[in-house]
Amino acid sequence: MTLASAMTPSTGFRHEALLYDGEDQFISRSVPFIQQGLLAGEAVLVVVNRPKIELLEGSLGDQSGDVSFADMASVGSNPARIIPAWRDFVDMATQRKQAMRGIGEPIWPDRTGPELAECHHHEALLNSAFGDVRQFWLVCPYDAATLRPEVIERLALTHPLVNRGAGAVASPTYDEARATLDPFTDPLPPPAAPVRETDYSGTSLRRLRAWIGGHSSIAGLDEQRTGDLVLASHEIATNSVLHGGGVGRVRLWTEHRNIICEFTDGGHVQQPLVGREFPRKDQTHGRGLWMVNQLCDLVQIRSIPGQTVVRLHKAIVPAIQ
């Protein structure tokens, strides 16, 4: 049974995990879903890796010109940037008064542990980000042939619907409040390498920027990427001073060819979508975390009453390519 024949079009926000086993099954379950949307006059966006885009274009033929495609390796290298991409799509389709459907595959076997954690968080946050959108059907494929069993098990916690090939059924373990908040409150794993650390306050931000820049350069981060990390760090430290009790502590270490800069303060972030939605023109808070997600390869936020931890990841690349 194909995905398209098993279900009727969405009348609200429908968020569904779709299991498949290898590329052939991905195509056989995705193409009818796309074609059904095109036949209904819906806007269709597919965000998967480049090889799958090419397979879908070949299978759809002339119809592929009516589908929007984006490479998930680019859009979702930092998973916090995926929701803004879907938001742009939703806003444009809504202006045209079109129903929408999409395919988004943020998880693949080579994702690092921190990336995978943020992908699961992203999947849960989709339900909050688009819960009030009308006629948006989003399918998230999971390759059972290549992903670890614990990843497959986790999808039922973040998707209200799960389709294992015989039609979608309600997930018995999905709880929106828990799915949204648990990844935001669970502690991050301890550093896997020796750390350097220092305290900061409103009077020491200039020294902090120099401290982070110097250690990042020594670790091998090139000039441009060091500048990005320093700017992102300044934004986080400034948030600490303004909203986190006025002081904080920063730790810096190198792990798996990444510079990781971790900030801890006494604040409490209560908006799990912070930094994942484009700031409104009238918005006075949250712009800094939005910018940080554009500057860093990965951003991890954990917050409970009395403590917020933000980890910035920046990959080390040679200065000369």
Domains of the chain: 3-185 (3.40.50), 196-315 (3.30.565.10)
The reported pTM is: 0.91
Over residues 158-184, the mean pLDDT reads 88
Over residues 105-131, the mean pLDDT reads 95
Cβ neighbours of 11 (radius 10 Å)? 11
Q: Does pLDDT of 3 surpass 80?
A: no
Please tell me the distance from the alpha carbon of residue 213 to that of residue 220, in angstroms, as a whole number.
11
The string over 284-310, giving b where at least 16 C-beta atoms fall within 10 Å of a residue's C-beta and e elsewhere, is eebebbbebbebbbbbbbbbeeeebbb
Q: How confident is the model at residue 282 (pLDDT cuts 50, 70, 90)?
A: low
Q: How confident is the model at residue 10 (pLDDT cuts 50, 70, 90)?
A: low
Q: Which two tokens stand for residue 150?
A: 């614990």
Q: Does pLDDT of 307 surpass 90?
A: yes
Q: How confident is the model at residue 62 (pLDDT cuts 50, 70, 90)?
A: very high
The pLDDT > 70 percentage for the chain reads 93
Q: How confident is the model at residue 283 (pLDDT cuts 50, 70, 90)?
A: low
Q: What is the mean pLDDT of the chain?
A: 91
Closest C-alpha among 222, 240, 251 to residue 318: 222
Over residues 181-186, the mean pLDDT reads 83
| Residue 82: predicted pLDDT | 97
| Residue 319: predicted pLDDT | 44
